[in-house]
Amino acid sequence: MESLAGLLPIILMFVLFYFLLIRPQQKRQKSVQQMQRDLQKGDKVVTIGGLHGFVDAIDEGQIVIKCGDGSRLTYDRAAVREVVEKAKSPSLDK
């Protein structure tokens, strides 16, 4: 019984770490991966290096970003930090 009482604080600390640190990080990582999978041509994005631009072309693991001066730069999909504005999809009402 004493050994169980001695392990209780360690088990409680593990449970707290899981719910306060590990689980939220896993949720954030899943949402970032989903955002990177859902990239579309025309999306306005920001890279982890701070480059702002529009997605010009998409490959399986890479994207081409068109910058303000018209230059095109190739990045890995994992380099996209956030989508600032989604591409306007064509209207289905015709």
Residues 37-94 pLDDT 10s:
999 999 999 999 999 999 999 998 999 999 988 899 999 999 999 999 998 865 444 4
Distances (CA, A) of 69 to 53, 58, 79, 91: 10, 20, 20, 29
Cα separation of 83 and 13, whole Å? 36
For residue 45, give the 3-state DSSP assignment.
strand
| Domains parsed from the chain with CATH numbers | 2-85 (2.30.30.30)
Q: Where are the alpha helices (DSSP H) in the chain?
A: 2-17, 23-37
pLDDT in tens, 47-57: 999 999 999 99
CA angle 69, 65, 89 (to 5 degrees): 105
Rounded to two decimals, what is the model's pTM? 0.71
